[in-house]
Amino acid sequence: MSVNKEVKRITTHTVQEMKNRGEKIAMLTAYDYSMATIVDDAGMDIILVGDSASNVMAGHETTLPITLDQMIYHASSVVRAAKRALVIVDLPFGSYQGNSKEALNSAIRIMKESGAHGVKMEGGVEIAESVSRILTAGIPVMGHLGLTPQSIYKFGTYTVRAKQEAEAQKLREDTLALQELGCFAIVVEKIPAMLAKEVTESVQIPIIGIGAGRHCDGQVLVIHDMLGINKGFKPRFLRQYANLYDQMNGAIKNYIGDIKSKDFPNEQEQY
Ligand code: KIV
């Protein structure tokens, strides 16, 4: 008799409970079915279909070019794989900044066409109307503050944000505002660890850090970075858990070598 072990889905309520009891939240990006299957099977709490797909999947220099249709394609592939994880999808640049009606339409398209469980949006009080309208439709929203890559041309660099008091103060206010609006969690990217600790302790909702130190309620990384698929990308905050670039490159070289030397396929590998 086969025992069908039921997998309990992580929800926005689950991650809130995790913060309440002091259990750290694990989040990682994925953009396709095969990777998302591995990530979900490993027991990830949240899978982020990040607009970093623009960089790591499509090879663009920034996250700006990726479209809503492309995000929906990635998200639906991930949703088909994720049996346990909460799947959150980035609203891409240009799909929500214009006006709140457009923002709502974009979020609805993601939810309807991909089957994801919520959206992530970059920005604070400037996007309050859009966040609020999406939340009113019953769609969970995760905020994103600090280094917000969709604004890279405003920042000019990918260095640590909110080191100056004025920017730190805005981040504190934005964190409170996003909580007040009803966001279920907030990503803080590349900010000083002590500021991240302060905002984590100042709100009830989970704060997920990337390059924001150990005091956040959870951590997120881009899967290509932590698996060492991106050759040469080693910022200080990144812990690399594998060196897949070299391993994959080596395996592929062996395959080429075996074809050239007529070793592959051998008699056992044919019909
Ligand atoms: O797009 C992304 O991968 C992200 C994470 C870096 C948080 O937003």
Instruction: Tell me the per-residue pLDDT of 171-194, one tens digit each, with 9 for 90 and over.
Output: 999 999 999 999 999 999 999 999
Q: Span 92-118, mean pLDDT? A: 97
Coil/strand/helix, residue 206: coil
Identify whether residues 206 and 221 lie together within a single domain: yes
Q: What is the pLDDT of residues 17-31, one digit of tens each?
A: 999 999 999 999 999
Q: How would residue 4 be classed by pLDDT, with cut points 50, 70 and 90?
A: low
Identify whether residues 177 and 269 lie together within a single domain: no
Identify whether residues 16 and 111 lie together within a single domain: yes
Cβ neighbours for 252, distance < 8 A, ≥ 6 positions apart = none
Residue 270 lies in a domain: yes
Residue with tokens 């999808």: 89
Task: Say if ligand 1 is within 6 A of residue 29 CB.
Answer: yes
Identify whether residues 79 and 129 lie together within a single domain: yes
- Domain with 214 in it: what CATH number? 3.20.20.60
Identify whether residues 264 and 230 lie together within a single domain: no
The pLDDT score that the predictor gives to residue 5 is: 67
Task: Say if ligand 1 is within 6 A of residue 223 CB.
Answer: no
Identify whether residues 191 and 252 lie together within a single domain: no
Identify whether residues 50 and 92 lie together within a single domain: yes
Identify whether residues 249 and 232 lie together within a single domain: no
Identify whether residues 188 and 265 lie together within a single domain: no
Rounded Cα distance, 135 and 120, in Å: 12
Number of domains in the chain: 2
C-alpha torsion sign, points 200, 206, 211, 215:
positive
Task: Say if ligand 1 is within 6 A of residue 210 CB.
Answer: yes
How remote is the CA of residue 51 from the centroid of ligand 1, in Å?
6
Q: What is the pLDDT of residues 221-256, one digit of tens each?
A: 999 999 999 988 999 999 999 999 999 999 999 999
Residue 42 lies in a domain: yes
Identify whether residues 269 and 195 lie together within a single domain: no
The pLDDT score that the predictor gives to residue 232 is: 86
Residue 3 lies in a domain: no
Q: For atom 3 of ligand 1, which residue has the closest CA?
A: 50
The amino acid that residue 163 corresponds to is: K
Task: Say if ligand 1 is within 6 A of residue 187 CB.
Answer: yes
Residue 2 lies in a domain: no
Instruction: Give the number of the atom of ligand 1 that is nearest the alpha carbon of residue 122.
Output: 8
Identify whether residues 131 and 257 lie together within a single domain: no
User: What region does 156 belong to: left with phi over 0, alpha with psi -120 to 50, or beta?
Assistant: left
Range of the domain at 37: 12-240
Task: Say if ligand 1 is within 6 A of residue 222 CB.
Answer: yes
Residue 142 · residue 187 · CB < 8 Å: yes
Instruction: Give the number of the atom of ligand 1 that is nearest the alpha carbon of residue 52.
Output: 1
Q: Which residues are catalytic?
A: 189
The pLDDT score that the predictor gives to residue 7 is: 87
The pLDDT score that the predictor gives to residue 6 is: 80
pTM of the predicted protein model: 0.97
Residue 77 lies in a domain: yes
Q: For atom 5 of ligand 1, which residue has the closest CA?
A: 50
